[in-house]
Chain A
Amino acid sequence: MGTVLEMSKFMLMVLVAASGLTACTALQPKSPPLSEFVRPLSNTLLTVGIPTRGAEATLVLVARNQGVETWATGDNVTVSMQNGVVVATRGLGFDVMGSDVGPTLNALAGRQAGSYVVKRRYLTPDNQPEPVAATCTMGRSANGQFIEDCQSDGVSFQNQYALDGTGRVASSKQWIGPEVQYLNTSYSTAQ
């Protein structure tokens, strides 16, 4: 019947078509980087590392709204933070779409004791908002860092925050989600 031969011929044609498709997709114009499209609001730089992806980038400040700062990489990933605590990301694939980090900020300021709930929203691949609540407690490590232990849907994670003299997060390690896992953040000043 030559079934196997036919199958392989067919697969070959599918591959030809698919490789053509990739070539065409690659030719599409890319979005100009946000970091160039929008004038930076400050000469402070944010360094963000994603250990699970072996990636690190320097971000510039592109927006301020409702006390949240949005920082952008040169390739259109943004991280939005309130006093250094991550409230949203874009361009990571498994983005945090929005959060209420009020309880974490209160705990960092010493205004929140015991356990508290941090609410976040993700987006499913079929476009449904996916609210996720984490129950957290804040503690201090020996070197003075704030350690936030959280539980959410059977997943445990630990955020770390080092504050500067003004009470703002200067560097941190923060959980984004099961796929991206942790972001490391720290600030520097443009040369």
Chain B
Amino acid sequence: MTQRRLPFGLVLASSVFSLCSSGTALAQQTDLAWGYNTIGVPGLVEMPSAFGRPDGEFALSYSQFGQQYRAAITFQVSDRLSTTFRYVGIDGFRSNGETVDTWDRSFSLQYRLLDEGTYLPAVAVGLNDILGTGVLAGEYLVASKTLGRNIRATAGLGWGRLGSHGSFTNPLSVLGEKFETRDPFSGLGGELNSAQWFRGDAAFFGGIEWMVNDRLRLVAEYSSDAYENEDDAAFDRKSPFNLGLSWQANDRTRLSAQYLYGSEFGFQVNYLINPKQSRGGSGFDPAPVPIVPRDQVAAATWGDVDDAAFRTSLETNLEREGIRLEGFEATGNLLTVSIRNKGYARASQATGRTARVLTRLAPRDIDRFKVVLSENGIPVSSILMSRADLERLEFDEAAPERLRARTVIADETDRLAFSRLDYPVTKFSVDPYIKPDLFDPDQPIRADAGLAFSARYEPLPGLVFSGLVQQRLIGNIADNVRFGSSALPPVRTNALLYARASDTSLAELTGAYYFRPATNLFGRVTVGYLETMFGGVSTEVLWKPPASALAVGAEVNYAVQRDYDDAFGFQDYDIVTGHLSAYYDFGDDYQAQLDVGRYLAGDVGATLTLGREFDNGFKIAAYATKTNVSAEDFGEGSFDKGILVSIPLEWATGKPSKTKLNATINSINRDGGARLGVPGRLYGTVRDLQATELDASWGRFWK
């Protein structure tokens, strides 16, 4: 045994990094694709294969060859469905008789129809570039079969781009003559091109993969993509054969080198994240205070307890666990404690830690604990537990299920009488921020970075004053010279004028009141500078019973456009905007949200958001907004759409934290379908404290 004495914590922190290079879990899995192709779809070198990637995997890819630059984000939505969003740059693309340098966004889907059997191959269908301009448009049906342990063969039939080399008359023309023809590339974006799918000539593609060992993979393929618009412009396509070599550098990083089309060398980098896996396991959270059995507690009854001393002790003990005491109350043998979770991504953990603290401090005659979870000073849920169960189950191998079966989680509308004692609450913080500005064809990536100073003051429960000032330190967003012209009031296309006006911006200065109008109802009124471009009044009501999959909300706002350079001034444009929202939780982490209403430019329409939120808070969602603005009036992209990614810092570092890193990847901001930014919208905070979410992460109660 080693005699080296190091603090445990130090060693644990460094072991997170040593895990980064550990060789575990690298071995090829039999039912999963062994890699991604150059456009970020599970597959070979350029061609797709029929297998998917591990459920939930989120992959960032970059590949480059022959004057083509491809960045992609792929999400394995479910075991069978894979989706890819990509951004492609081509230096030398023939479009309408001209050779141009172009940037293009596109979206792909791949769905596995059949799993691999002993004799039958896995079969998948896929669609590339279904919403974009059609630069990469192609459809395919593909089959893959594992031969022995380390070799796989793939064969497919492609249409569109994937049916352009070695093509023959579409076999689907037996279903109708229209399948024989396909419209040529048009260059219009944003519409679903479904009328063209699986039409025109078809061609075969295929390839072989060999896993030489756990890390090295070799691929040879026959590509059915003729590169009709790039050949002799971007690169010289001499042969349909491609060779690839990929190396799994560690659990997340994969590097590939390729020789393509008899003329070009290329490279590819994939960074693979699985939200269900974390390098810190379930987290390096400091150990919670152990449960103390009742017979070891000093005080027999409340008569033996000094209220002020008890409160101080409770506060100190909860503070150690990253929890703020909002109030407490003893009635008979029940002790109710109202808390605010400051330190954990999941409220179940804050609840468990509060329960542990209560076993240490509560007099012996208390036999039930009720923990009230509150946010913004309003109570949301209560969790009622038996003290004897906590003592009995502390080390039980099935503690989560056994405790939950005897625990009641309910809606809670009452503020405890004691709660006013802990006000006012003040909080200041300084955090770094980064604000990207993507997809300007002149310069696809721009960003600003700097420091965000935030302050919060709560004089009474439910009343919150908060401010946010951003100081830009570095960045080039203001360099943008492409002023979007717009047929609509310029509610977003003038964002640049705000960015240019000053390095210091008052991003938010509001007063908000949160309240509980009735059981299952939540309310909010916010007044002030709501976001960088608008100020005004925002009101919201949300109906969300604690165990309901459905929630319904209504929001009405009066917004006035802010001045570009005067932090406190307003312009002439004002509007009443608002939405009716329905939120639905399908279970298994899948969620949907539908907002119907009037947007900032006065246009009327709806936003649909589909997302998956893992039980640790890692969330990936996509949204689309369609309003009564025509595609022509909307401008580039035809309608607003985007991807949202939210990563809990706790997942990334393995240390407890409530902070989330959020990123939105969307089209260039246009004026149609623009929604007012309002801080403190209710659904997210309410849902996190209710039974549905507490149950989803209940295992963390004991962490």
Contacts and interface: CB of A to CB of B under 8 A. Distances in A.
Interface of A: 1-3, 6-7, 9-10, 13-14, 16-17, 20-21, 24-25, 30-32, 34, 37-38, 49-51, 53-57, 62-66, 68, 70, 72-78, 80, 82, 87-88, 90-95, 97-100, 119-129, 131, 178-179, 184
Given A1-B101, A75-B7, A129-B699, 10 more contacts: A55-B2, A56-B6, A65-B292, A74-B8, A77-B9, A91-B285, A95-B703, A100-B397, A127-B348, A129-B400
Interface string B385-425: 00000011111111111000000000000000000000000
Contact of A62 (B10, B285, B290, B702): B290
Given A17-B433, A131-B397, A90 B320 contact: no
Contacts of B24: 178
B641 interface: no
A98 B399 contact: yes
B180 interface: no
A57 B8 contact: yes
A178 B348 CA distance: 26
A93 B395 contact: no
Contacts of A13: 434, 447, 449, 474-475
B397 A121 contact: yes
B281 A76 contact: no
A34 B357 CA distance: 12
Nearest to B345: A127
A63 to B, nearest CB: 3
Contact of B290 (A20, A49, A63, A73): A63
B4 interface: yes
Contacts of B150: none
A6 B443 contact: yes
B397 A98 contact: yes
Contacts of B247: none
Nearest to A186: B1
Contact of B4 (A38, A54, A76): A54
Contacts of A17: 432-434, 449
B293 to A, nearest CB: 5
A138 B433 CA distance: 57
Contact of A87 (B287, B395, B614): B395
Nearest to B359: A65
Interface in B670-703: 696-700, 702-703
A75 B282 contact: no
B397 A94 contact: no
Interface stretch (B29-37, B248-256, B650-658): B650-658
Contact of B9 (A49, A76, A80, A82): A76
Contact of B287 (A7, A57, A72, A100): A72
Contacts of B393: 98
Given A13-B447, A90-B703, A93-B12, A51 B434 contact: no
A9 B703 CA distance: 41
Contact of B280 (A3, A93, A120): A93
B11 A122 contact: no
Interface stretch (B105-113, B271-279, B544-552): B271-279
B304 interface: no
B391 A66 contact: yes
14 contacts: A2-B443, A6-B444, A10-B445, A10-B447, A20-B451, A34-B290, A56-B3, A77-B9, A87-B395, A94-B282, A98-B395, A125-B280, A127-B615, A127-B616
A136 to B, nearest CB: 15
Query: DSSP majority for the A interface?
Result: mixed
Contacts of A49: 1-2
Interface in B203-230: none
Nearest to A81: B395
Nearest to A118: B397
Contacts of A74: 7-8
Given A56-B4, A77-B8, A93-B16, A179 B396 contact: no
A38 B703 contact: no
Contacts of B443: 2, 6
Contacts of B276: 124-126
Given A24-B430, A129-B401, A34 B284 contact: no
B356 to A, nearest CB: 10
**Central interface residue in B91, B394, B395, by most chain A CB within 10 Å:** B395
B401 A65 contact: no
A93 to B, nearest CB: 4
Nearest to A13: B449
Contacts of B7: 57, 74-75
A52 B315 CA distance: 38
Nearest to B360: A38
A75 B401 CA distance: 30
A90 B698 CA distance: 17
Nearest to A99: B397
Contacts of A178: 24
A37 B395 contact: no
Contacts of A87: 395
Contacts of A57: 5, 7-8
A125 B278 contact: yes
Contacts of A77: 8-9, 12, 287
* Listed residue (B4, B475, B699) with the most chain A CB atoms within 10 angstroms of its CB: B699
Given A24-B431, A54-B4, A68 B444 contact: no
